[in-house]
Amino acid sequence: MSTFQAPKGTYDLIPPSSATYLAVREAIAAPLRNSGYGYIETPGFENVELFARGVGESTDIVTKEMYAFETKGGDRLALRPEGTASTLRAALEANLHKGGNLPVKLWYSGSYYRYERPQKGRYRHFSQVGAEAIGVEDPALDAELIILANHSYRSLGLSDFRILLNSLGDKECRPVYRAALQDFLRGLELDEETRRRIEINPLRVLDDKRESVQEQLIGAPMLRDYLCEACKTYHEQVRELLTAAGVAFEDDPKLVRGLDYYTRTTFEFVHDGLGSQSAVGGGGRYDGLSEMIGGPALPSVGWALGVDRTVLALEAEGITLDLPAATSVYAVPLGEEARRVLFGKVTELRLAGVATDFAYGGKGLKNAMKSANRSGARLALVAGERDLAEGLVQLKDLQSGEQTAVALDAVVDEVRRALA
């Protein structure tokens, strides 16, 4: 074993389990690519101020969980704790919103970092696939993203998840609610840190998971009772579009999410088989974020789905994905001349699109065939000196045990036929 281990709260993705993670990422990305979303990749670290302004200075993410550091040049940077602020920053920097085709629709996949208390489903390094639609205020966009996420989960075979939906209002109606909520919260018995939060962002208190706080929140004013007519109409249109698309959801008036930039539509995907870490993904509308980070007014909406949590959800439902074998054909040479000839055939098969591996290291027949079986290959390509003298190789079906002599120049066609 190595002297070194992965840092606390992180993990290594290794075969064969890594294949499931790749399949989950692909299942989430496929509906996005099919709906006009282009791929974007941003740096793993950004200016600290981007997250302080965008995510919110009162959030746990910024105050407690962000990995911030100073470079040798004196720059204050942070490992990205989420993807939206970085994606919007990159879109603004590249002037994508000036291309004349709004919304700018982007998707991304990568690792994110938060100094969490490690537990199952909550890591310090985690993987997400996210999507953002930038520059348009339209309930159909909010509905589209929720429908696409729902489609991704359904395509994986998941069924025991729920979609929670709420509206957080806008700059017209939220200040009125904020004042009413602050008045209510100031009368509660709360610790000093939570009292400070009341003054900075009282909605954060609604998201407090401690039972001692939740018990006191019974009877707190609800945002839905303070929504202006425009926000009520907008939210109702989102609900109608989801219902028309056959997507079930639950109204959750307490849903606020852990980021300060959300306005109007907010939603969360929760899986009841995951215990306390039940949120597998979520998102919402963030109409003021562009202005917060120095850009023009660009109403936008997006989400991020956790790859790690989605894999745990699959395990909770007992779902095993039907993944293609990494290797279809395994070549076993017997002797030096066979090594030279079969290695050439391996290259031919790979160029023809057949996943092929080779018995490296001069293994004997017995050990090489064990490796062939362990590889998951359907077929073994075996050749010795006598076979080659006759211009043949042996094609063995590793499931049935049947073996057929095949002409050297017909190997690719015969392999394709056998695999089909």
Pick out the residues of the known binding site.
82-84, 114, 128, 132, 257, 261-262
379-383 sheet: strands from edge to edge? 356-358, 329-333, 379-383, 392-397, 403-407
Report yes or no: 381 and 405 within 8 Å, Cβ to Cβ.
no
Report yes or no: 326 and 376 within 8 Å, Cβ to Cβ.
yes
Q: How far is CA 164 from CA 175, 192, 242, 278, in A?
A: 23, 31, 12, 12
Report yes or no: 334 and 385 within 8 Å, Cβ to Cβ.
yes
161-167 sheet: strands from edge to edge? 38-39, 104-113, 125-134, 300-306, 279-285, 263-271, 161-167, 250-251
The SS3 of residue 183 is helix
CA angle in degrees (0–180, nearest 5) for 200-201-204: 135
- Kind and range of the H or E element at 403? strand 403-407
User: What's the rounded Cα separation, in Å, for the pair 366 and 382?
Assistant: 12
Place of tokens 């849903």: 255
- The distance from CA 312 to its chain's CA centroid, rounded to whole angstroms, is 13
Q: How far is CA 6 from CA 3, 125, 254, 401, in A?
A: 10, 11, 37, 42
Residues paired with residue 111 on neighbouring β-strands, in sequence order: 127
HSE toward the beta carbon, residue 221, CA cutoff 13 A? 19
Helix axes 229-244, 139-155, angle to 10 degrees: 30
Binding residues for L-histidine: 82-84, 114, 128, 132, 257, 261-262
User: What's the rounded Cα separation, in Å, for the pair 245 and 226?
Assistant: 28
